[in-house]
Amino acid sequence: MRKRFTMKDVANVAHLSTATVARVLHGQGFVSEKSRKRVLEAIEKTGYRLNTLAQSLRRNQTKTIGHLLTSISPNLFFAGVELGVENEAIKNGYSVLIWNDFEDPKRERLGVETFIQRQVDAIIFTTPIEPQNVYAAIEAGIPVVQVERPTEVKSHAVIVDNYTGSTLAVEHLIGLGHQCIGFIGGDPRAFLTSPSVDEQRLAGYRDTMIKNGIMPKEEWLAFGKYYSLEDGYRIMEQFLKLGDITAVFATCDILAAGALQAIYQHNLRVPEDVSLVGFDNTYAPYLSPPLTTVEQPMFEIGITAARIAIEASIKKSDFPGTLKVESLATRLKVRASTSALSF
């Protein structure tokens, strides 16, 4: 078997002290250029690699973040957040362990337990399911960041201004002359947070309609159990039977994609017959026509969550005393799926 060289071996080859080798490896303290060059040559000659894991364990830090995701697919929101988390982690010398829980509380709990066993420095929940699982991580002394849909368990969090995003979407449609605007959303009762993301988006829709003198009919409001193509398709078919809806606001691009399919199946066109707005800007650019949507800053959400997680892992003595909750803005991306109402 190939010999595993140590720092002492490097020092012997370089004819220098281990302290000098350590200063070169960690970039700390003064080392002459001549000595630094000898150390680097000795490292190349021996093939020595710094054992970062052992070093991290000695410091009671593994430089690892555990990221619990609902699922990396099909909803690209989660992939976007993960890319942000990974980008910020790598930038700071951290690694990321990913665990997909598929909205299963038992699988989420297993992920938490696995991360605890792996001695991760922090856990990010995108998004949490069961409050007890979040609490289990905190109870183990691990800093937690909850993303988008925080439970009632107090922890660091990154949220999005869903209410403003919803108002931007509805104001855009009203500005184009639409008044009979359907709303396709997730069921507010399906989530534990209060107010939930879905309640915030519904409130933005209702308040904006009423503010503009439009009283939304109950039949204009429909909710899917899941954010799915099937729910979007089914609800859009209901709306088309009503005969009065000229525009639809869907609170997820996947729901909007399902609605788009239903519209085309009925030989109607977007936006000529029905204007359509989505939410999150995941699939929106790739649909035909490209979808007007409310953009969630997925990548920025991930970066922010990782930054908070890293800061909390370094200052564990402050946890959970000082909790950070950061809210990120949404914005409307206008594309080809909306147009002025034709009379």
Domains of the chain, by residue range, sit at 7-50, 64-160+298-329, 162-296
Which residues have a Cβ under 8 Å from the Cβ of 205 and sit 6 or more positions away? 166, 167, 169, 170, 181, 183, 216, 249
Q: Answer whether residue 158 shows pLDDT above 70.
A: yes
Record the tokens describing residue 311, joined without a space.
Answer: 């800061």
CA 284 vs CA 204, 254, 323: distances in Å: 21, 9, 34
Sheet containing 221-224: order of strands: 221-224, 181-186, 247-250, 275-280, 292-295, 331-333
Say if residue 131 is preceded by a cis peptide, omega within 30 of 0.
no
Which run of H or E residues covers position 123?
strand 122-126
Mean pLDDT across the chain, nearest whole number?
90
Q: Which amino acid is at 181?
A: I
Record the tokens describing residue 297, joined without a space.
Answer: 């800053």
Confidence grade of residue 139 (pLDDT, cut at 50, 70, 90):
confident
Least-confidence region, from 67-71, 190-194, 203-207: 190-194
Residue, of 13 and 322, whose pLDDT is higher: 13
Q: 7-50 is classed in which CATH architecture?
A: Orthogonal Bundle (1.10)
Record the tokens describing residue 164, joined without a space.
Answer: 């403003």
- Distance between CA atoms of residues 117 and 6, nearest Å: 28
Say how many C-beta atoms besides its own lie within 10 A of residue 219's C-beta: 13
For the domain bounded by 64-160+298-329, which CATH number is listed? Answer: 3.40.50.2300
List the one residue out of 224, 276, 266, 227 whose CA is nearest residue 243: 266
Which residues have a Cβ under 8 Å from the Cβ of 152 and sit 6 or more positions away? 131, 192, 193, 194
Q: Answer whether residue 173 shows pLDDT above 60.
A: yes
Q: Comparing 64-160+298-329 with 162-296, is the CATH topology the same?
A: yes
Mean pLDDT along residues 302-311: 97
Which residues have a Cβ under 8 Å from the Cβ of 243 and sit 6 or more positions away? none
236 within 8 A of 278, measured Cβ to Cβ: no
Mean pLDDT along residues 322-331: 94
pLDDT of residue 1: 47
In degrees rounded to 5, what are phi and psi of residue 183? -125, 120
Q: What is the pTM of this model?
A: 0.80
For the domain bounded by 162-296, which CATH number is listed? Answer: 3.40.50.2300
